[in-house]
Amino acid sequence: MYDILRPLLFKLDAETAHRVTMYGLGVAQRSDFAHWIATPPADFPTTVFGIDFPNPVGLAAGLDKNGEHLDALNALGFGFIEVGTVTPLPQVGNDKPRMFRLPQHEAIINRLGFNNGGVDALVRNVQQSSYHGVLGINIGKNKDTPNEKAVSDYLLCLTRVYEHASYITVNISSPNTQGLRDLQQEATLRRFISVLREAQERLGSQHGKRKPMLLKIAPDLAEIELDAIADVLTRTGIDGVICTNTTVDHSAVADDPQGNETGGLSGKPLFERSTAVLAGMHKRLQGRVPLIGVGGVLDGSDAAEKIAAGASLVQIYSGLIYRGPHLIGECVNEIRRQREDVPHAG
């Protein structure tokens, strides 16, 4: 089905195509026609962060920023769904056009800028949905909030979403909010994560259940920066790391007419770098902190390679745009096959 629809969707600009697709998924789900679009994979239970996932392939943040389409997305067979990035106050994001497809590279460049309806709107949407699966909520700061006050934005979001999330992701790695990635610097990150960890434990006691907190990092960090981040994460007791966000390095798409557009690059050109960062963090953290691999997963072998590089779970986004919903099952089945092929000691 998606192979037929994709050429039509690609005639629309990227944001319009996104709205049309999400509307169509909602109609299909409410009409009980979702099986025409995708066949959910057989369960492949995976336990990470103390959470039981039906399968290890999830949706990355960014596709459903406001948590408006949880029921429709659930029908596709994801093992978990991450919504956001959400900020305390609504914001329109950057000027349009701000999302560009590069089909010859199976890539996307976006400079959306955390466009979302604000944390209260997201919470209402989550409460009104029928989704009871694993839900990650990705939190950020408003554009106008200076970095020295950023932690207040994250604390507000953490507090508001805590009871509704299975886990919370702290996003300080988007390239589309000016200065945001500066929060990844070692001394700043140590103070920042320590404050959020204190709040996490306090909220866990308050709600009677501790929810894991993850950090999403950039793919453009130098080795010495990754060393410092690994040290901070180990010392502060973070629950998990998502490797990685989009890249500001557009050298792989320099030959494309839109390759020089400002913004974060995702899709196939990101795969090699994001997987290298994933493998590097796995080595540094020595299995003490679970990892989610995301970036450039376009087929099942890409997902399996993320797992082989040290990921416990995999997320997709751009691959969904280029390959359609059947990519979910393809990834689950390839990870399943890889794990079944691993010889058991004994």
Please identify every residue annotated as catalytic.
Answer: 174
* Tokens (6 digits) for 251: 């050298």
User: What's the half-sphere exposure (Cβ side, CA atoms, 13 Å) at 97?
Assistant: 12
**Angle formed by the axes of helices 186-207 and 223-236, nearest 10°:** 30
Strands, E assignment, 67-133: 80-86, 99-102, 107-110
Cα–Cα dist 208/244, whole Å: 31
User: In the block, which residue shows the tokens 């507000």?
Assistant: 156
- Beta strands 313-316; 291-294: pairing state: parallel
The amino acid present at 207, given as its one-letter code, is H
Task: Please report which helix (H) or strand (E) contains residue 26, including its range.
Answer: helix 14-30
**With contact defined as beta carbons under 8 Å apart, do 301 and 147 qualify?**
no
CA 8 to chain centre: 26
Q: CB 5: neighbour CB atoms within 10 A?
A: 15
CA distances from 112 to 83, 99, 147, 292, 313 (A): 15, 7, 19, 23, 26
**Nearest-5° Cα angle at 120, 114 to 124:** 115
